[in-house]
Amino acid sequence: MSHVQGRARRARAALAAVLTWTGLLLTGAVGCTSDGAIGGAFGPPAPEEVIRVAPADGSKEVRPGDMLRVRASEGRLESVEVVRSQDARESPVPGRISADGRSWKPDDERLALAAKYTVDTVARDDAGRRSSRRTTFTTYVPEERFIGYVTPEHRTVVGTGMIVSLAFNREIVHRAAVERAVRVTSRPAVDVRPHWFGKDRLDFRPETYWRPGTEVTVELDLRDVEGAPGVYGLQHRTFSFTVGRSQVSVVDAGRHTMKVSRDGEELATVPITAGAPKTPTYNGKMVISEMLEVTRMNGATVGFTDADGKGEYDIPDVPHAIRLTASGTFLHGNYWAEKDIFGDTNVSHGCVGLHDVKGGGADTPAGWFFDRSLIGDVVEVVNSKDTTVAPDNGLGGWNMGWREWTQGSAVK
């Protein structure tokens, strides 16, 4: 081969190599590296790289202490929409995007239990490219729940001595958390304070009796509040009641009379019989909590039994029965005692008796008082030979001073 021919062959080989390299670049046959330096590396990042959501997509049994958060790893969040599905109902979860646009959090930090959350997010990265992402998660379904039974009943008209009382069906260990989830307000506004009696009862009252005409609202935000380890609240409800006229009745056990006053003026003074010397009536302020046209009273249910274990009395048709304590103190009609007992002698087992007739008479002292009473009215007993009724016996909280009452809060 001549020198000229060798040079020509080398030139053709070089040209072929250049053409081959150019063709590879044009057809994309050269692969890109892991850092995206060549070819398809300049495409947008995956949505999950731009938008970070906690709890993670598909999470189950998410606990209430976990936080719902949305974050943009680069760029800014444009919109975040969260929907909670619970009890076959859907509701939006309000929240807000931070000032720098990098994060979002809900207004209420507490996650609902037994719920499914759906999070829809749109973000724009630093290069101006938009990404959207949808994630879902479900929260823990508790096996044990608690509720609170509210006194008085919703939309009732009550006396000025009414105390708001919540009786829980489970013992409450985390009392401060439960107390914070209950709100009692009034119009006109007055300072209303809570007091715990044991681990299953929470009462609320103002310093003095309610003003007539006051509208009281009780808000229970107990849903998903942990009242005890593993036991969560079930209620999210609002109750309300109206305070009617003021009626306070003073039973003087020593004089065997009851003075009934309405709005500061005396209506009447009626003769009564109170507890006998061996079974005296409690002293102190008691609030009417129940009114029964007729009821049965058996001594065995309150500890009054004879040698055979039978009740010392069993009256199937006690008329005009007004409950004053949880332990069984009533103010009621009495048709079995002689009429001249009333106003003269104390013969009862601790109740306050007013003259009545069998079946209950409208024009008897017992019928007259029953027709003029409301749940929430105050009956105060004085000059009895017994002790003062305990503040947790019925709605007896008015027998506790305001300072001691306010110290019964679990929120310090």
Residues serving a catalytic function are: 332, 351
Do 366 and 271 meet the contact criterion of CB atoms below 8 Å apart?
A: no
Do 370 and 364 meet the contact criterion of CB atoms below 8 Å apart?
A: no
Distances (CA, A) of 190 to 187, 364, 396: 8, 39, 20
Query: What is residue 369's DSSP assignment?
Result: H
> For residues 262 and 246, what is the distance between their CA atoms, to the nearest angstrom?
6
Amino acid, single-letter form, for residue 194: P
Do 148 and 168 meet the contact criterion of CB atoms below 8 Å apart?
A: yes
- Identify the burial level of 153 via C-beta atoms within 10 angstroms of its C-beta, where 0-12 means exposed, 13-18 middle and 19 or more buried: exposed
**399 three-class SS:** helix
Q: 103: which strand partners?
A: 71
Do 163 and 204 meet the contact criterion of CB atoms below 8 Å apart?
A: yes
Distances (CA, A) of 335 to 55, 281, 328: 70, 19, 19
Which DSSP helix (H) or strand (E) runs through 206?
Answer: strand 201-206
Amino acid, single-letter form, for residue 12: R
**186 three-class SS:** strand
Tokens at residue 143, please?
């096996």
Tokens at residue 382, please?
């004085």
Amino acid, single-letter form, for residue 163: I
Amino acid, single-letter form, for residue 44: P
**340 three-class SS:** helix
Tokens at residue 196, please?
């715990």
- Strand ranges (E), 208-351: 215-221, 226-228, 231-233, 236-243, 247-252, 257-262, 265-271, 284-287, 290-298, 314-323, 330-334
> For residues 25 and 35, what is the distance between their CA atoms, to the nearest angstrom?
18
